[in-house]
Structure 1
Amino acid sequence: MLRLPLPPLLILVGVALAFGSSGCRKPPAATQTAPANVTVAKPVMKRLAEWDEFTGRLSAVASVDVRARVSGYLQSTHFTEGRDVKQGDLLFVIDPRRYEAELARATAELNKAKASFELATAEAARAGKLLLTQAISIEESEVKAKSRIGTEASLAAAQAQVDQAKLDLEWCRVTAPISGRIGRKVVTEGNLITGGPSGATVLTTIVQLDPIYCYFDVDERSALKYRELARTGKRESALYQSIRAQMGLANQEGFPHEGTIDFVDNEISATTGSIKSRGIFSNPGRLMSPGFFARIRIPGSGDYDAALIRDTAVGSDQGRAFVYVIGADGKATQRTIAVGPMEQGLRIVREGLGADDRVVINGLMAVRAGAVVNVEETTMQPAVKTAAATPSR
């Protein structure tokens, strides 16, 4: 049977009925979401000063190149390399026989000069008595007196030679000029070494380890900030007195070493745009050595009252830090805050929080401003760090 197409009017009526029936349906009822479960804690209120961190290198307070003062063959060594020595300890002995002979010769010359001086003194005294009786002429008496003065000068020269010979003999025994840790011996026994004021042979080095310096560079902006704080009376300046400093090594957590800043250079480097500064720290165990990398921090502000919260409680909205605060009605309010650096595992909040504010520290992603939440209260503690899993080999 041949089927004829439906008239266009019937098609339009069918479409209208379809839309009408769908429009009469009621929309589904809106589902109500349960309040989010969050953990809140009150900030830790503390009066503190912020710290500025820098990097530096450790350096010895005193470092000495031990050099020979006299020339000769190195005879013996009397220290253990890499160990501590005390000032005055014997380190090396240079063959002293040449200098013993020189001392003996100078002593003989001194005795000869003493005899000549004593003879000239006696003759001058006798000539003085004879002059009173006019037994000798004035000219002869003056010759005797001048001869005595000449022998006295010779005696002083001979004494100086003896003193120098004794000093050279003493310098054959090379002793530690300072207390500290000694390095390796650069020259071994049997070698000829050169002494003297210039070009003397370096035998070893000694560095003083307790206390120890930490040198670091402070950028120009920070230096200007510190001077402004000093000008306004908010913080003392290291330019005029020692200030507190803390230091930590590369393998240490935090800054366990306490010290002071005892030196600030007198100009900003035109090359680096920074100023050289120095901290001094005790090193009783002598575990810190010159050349180690170190982290150092100094007070970067005056003392003020701050709130401390978990860093994970802080959110960011277009560069502005905020937290969620739960009111007495259980509703969440977004609060803009001004944050500072970390302090003992907690984030410093300079402005925006009070001691009684309940800050969301867990469940932050489920909170919306104005929403009611279920609250569980706890105390503000640093977030526990989870150890990274060790891959199996």
Structure 2
Amino acid sequence: MVKKLTATLFGLSALVLAGCGSEEPTGQQPPPPAVEVAQVSTEATTLWRSFTGRVVAPETVELRPRVSGYIDLVSFTEGALVERGDVLFTIDQRPYKAKLRAAEADLQRVRSELAFNTKQARRAQQLLDSKAISREEYDRRIAARDAKHAALNAAEATVENARLNLQYTEVTAPISGRVSRAQITRGNLANADTTLLTTLVSVDPMYVYFESDEQTFAASRNLLNSDARPPVHIGLAGEHGYPHKGQLDFIDNRLNSHTGTIQFRAVVSNPEGTFKPGQFARVEMPIEEMAQAVLIDSKAVLTDQDRRYVYVVTQESLTERRPVELGPRQGERTVIRSGLQTGERIVVNGLQKIFFPGMPVAPEMIAQQGQGSSAQAAGH
């Protein structure tokens, strides 16, 4: 029995050893991972920077009456567009019409008196020549005529003033634009030069004011000092990108000592009324022209604490970690100030497959994103 058990165990051991001896190491390594690479090149590029601004109407009027009186009529639709010269408010005209009639009547009286005094002065000259009146009487009549001339001038001025006051009872729009709501309604007293009736703002074109820091202003000085001010791109809240085109037309003459910024102004056409005073706007302005700029896809840039780097693929298809100095981000690309040379290949897609520098990869060449177009900023 023992002999049979021993023979069985020996047989099983032989089978196990035979099975183990049949496994041989293959020595094959997994293939290198495929990654997409792009070739570094340079191009002439205009660098843009984005700022936050506010929309302002070029003309804003707080409408106040020039004469006092009770509001008789409100002649506009609140929030509507009005043209220059349109009547917006009418003040009760009856007192001013009466004053005009009284001034015209007084003018007529003074004219009649002047005609009489002129005749008296003419007769006095004849009588003086014939020695029928004294010199004193002659001087008195001449003085009376001259006084009436002065009274006539005063009466004409009074009539003119009365006519102006009557005209001022119709409060008209001094500019074309959009009118606000009526601050005072029919039947209320409006005091001259005091009571606010409504406000009026121009609508086309519009201004966009924004501010730049001192460093950006210094970098863009060459562009901004040219006679032809550069164009700008403008976007509003809820809009994608910068769909509106404007023109830089004003740069302040000094920096704000409290904020260290300088103010810019762009003018933008607004025929559809898209821009409204008080809106926030995003403004994109060119700040630098580079004849030989290195721009790479922003996805290729990695971060290690406060350092930025990319993976360069060598001729032997090995990865090399390369620190780079970044410039501004331009849309989906980033300007590289230093660290890369023209012709080098960088990994754009598949970075998660690279576990250590020097790792072999299977590079697949692709075109750089946005290559051949002017760079445009994504943020500031």
TM-score, length basis structure 2: 0.82
Aligned 8 A contact 1:237 1:243 in 2: no
Which of 92, 99, 102 is residue 102 of structure 1 equivalent to? 99
Q: Distance in 1 between matches of 2:164 and 2:334?
A: 65
SS of match in other structure, 2:299: helix
Letter in 1 for 2:75: H
Aligned 8 A contact 1:43 1:356 in 2: yes
- The residue number in structure 2 matching 1:296 is 283
Letter in 1 for 2:209: Y
Measure how far apart 1:91 and its partner are.
Answer: 0.7
Q: Quote the sequence identity (%).
A: 39
Query: Which residues in structure 2 correspond to 1:87-98 (within 5 Å)?
Result: 87-98=84-95
Measure how far apart 1:327 and its partner are.
Answer: 4.0
Letter in 2 for 1:236: L
Letter in 1 for 2:86: D
Q: Distance in 2 between matches of 1:275 and 1:174?
A: 39
SS of match in other structure, 2:158: helix
- Pairing 1:211–2:205 present: yes
Which of 333, 344, 361 is residue 357 of structure 1 equivalent to? 344
Q: Distance in 1 between matches of 2:290 and 2:153?
A: 69
- Pairing 1:113–2:107 present: no
Measure how far apart 1:266 and its partner are.
Answer: 4.0
- Pairing 1:40–2:28 present: no
- The residue number in structure 1 matching 2:225 is 237
CA-to-aligned-CA distance 1:52-88 (integer Å, 9 cap, x gap): 3322222111110111111111111111110111110
Query: Which residues in structure 2 correspond to 1:328-347 (within 5 Å)?
Result: 328-347=315-334
SS of match in other structure, 2:363: strand
Measure how far apart 1:290 and its partner are.
Answer: 1.1
SS of match in other structure, 1:49: strand
Which of 354, 357, 368 is residue 380 of structure 1 equivalent to? 368
Measure how far apart 1:113 and its partner are.
Answer: 0.7
Query: Which residues in structure 2 correspond to 1:1-393 (within 5 Å)?
Result: 32-43=29-40, 45-195=42-192, 197=193, 200-223=194-217, 225-226=218-219, 230=221, 234-237=222-225, 242-317=229-304, 319-354=306-341, 356-367=343-354, 368-381=356-369
Alpha carbons of structure 1 residues 286 and 191: separation in structure 2 relative to 1, 3 Å: same
SS of match in other structure, 2:288: coil
- Structure 2: which 5+ runs fail to align? 1-24, 371-380
Aligned 8 A contact 1:44 1:380 in 2: no
Aligned 8 A contact 1:39 1:378 in 2: yes
Q: Distance in 2 between matches of 1:348 and 1:256?
A: 23
Q: Distance in 2 between matches of 1:179 and 1:354?
A: 58
CA-to-aligned-CA distance 1:264-308 (integer Å, 9 cap, x gap): 334443443433333322222111111111222323334332233
Letter in 2 for 1:376: E
- Runs of 4+ residues deviating >6 angstroms: none
Q: Distance in 1 between matches of 2:262 and 2:296?
A: 34
Measure how far apart 1:164 and its partner are.
Answer: 0.6
Q: Distance in 2 between matches of 1:291 and 1:31?
A: 69
Alpha carbons of structure 1 residues 289 and 54: separation in structure 2 relative to 1, 3 Å: same
SS of match in other structure, 1:177: coil
SS of match in other structure, 2:223: coil
SS of match in other structure, 1:110: helix
The count of corresponding residues between Structure 1 and Structure 2 is 346
Letter in 1 for 2:365: E
Letter in 1 for 2:39: K
Aligned 8 A contact 1:241 1:262 in 2: no
CA-to-aligned-CA distance 1:334-385 (integer Å, 9 cap, x gap): 3333322232322222334455333221112323544432222222226xxx
Alpha carbons of structure 1 residues 354 and 271: separation in structure 2 relative to 1, 3 Å: closer
Letter in 2 for 1:307: V
CA-to-aligned-CA distance 1:38-63 (integer Å, 9 cap, x gap): 11223464322322332222211111
